[in-house]
Amino acid sequence: MKDFDGWNRFKKVVDADIRTVFCRKREVRWCSVGLNIGAEIDGKHASYERPVLIMEILDNHLVMVIPLTTQNKTNKYGIKITCEKIEFFALTSQMRTISTKRLGRKMFRLPSAEFNIVAEACIQCFHKAIPPSKEGGIAEPGGDSADPDQDQARAQLRKGI
């Protein structure tokens, strides 16, 4: 049985932390992801941590991350990356926005080539989540889908990742 009470106590400590964490895109850092529900990935050990790859810095307090695992998760959402002789699998289907308060020590910075592989996999993952235009494929902004919000989301995916 998961120790949700223990995670809740630790989460209060993380939330009360007043430090400012400065990080950079492509960094792999330990992150207190906590205990989660169902198939959502959990942290481990006393700090409920696991490595995450920083995909985007949204502001001084929020970042988009992808959890990493060393367990072989080769599938359409588990992207194999290697850095510093360590093999990881980036779980693109579990990308999420987190507070920088959750971030811990830096492990390393992923080379651009490896990062781009993960970024492209994210685009493919979310391409499946966004319905195609009437003509098929991804609708262009301002244009051919029935939903302008979807057009804008598609444009942001192309630019931001």
pLDDT at 33: 93
pLDDT at 95: 93
- Mean pLDDT calculated for residue range 5-22: 90
pLDDT at 42: 87
pLDDT at 134: 61
All domains of the chain, ordered by start, with CATH?
A: 4-110 (2.30.30.110)
Q: Could you tell me what percent of the chain has a pLDDT over 90?
A: 50
Q: Residues near 29 by Cβ (< 8 Å), separated by ≥ 6?
A: 23, 51, 52, 54, 103, 104, 105, 106, 107
Write down the pTM of the prediction: 0.76
User: Cβ atoms within 10 A of the Cβ of 43, count?
Assistant: 21
pLDDT at 150: 60
- pLDDT interval class at 115 (50, 70, 90): very high
Nearest of 73, 106, 105 to residue 92 by alpha carbon: 73
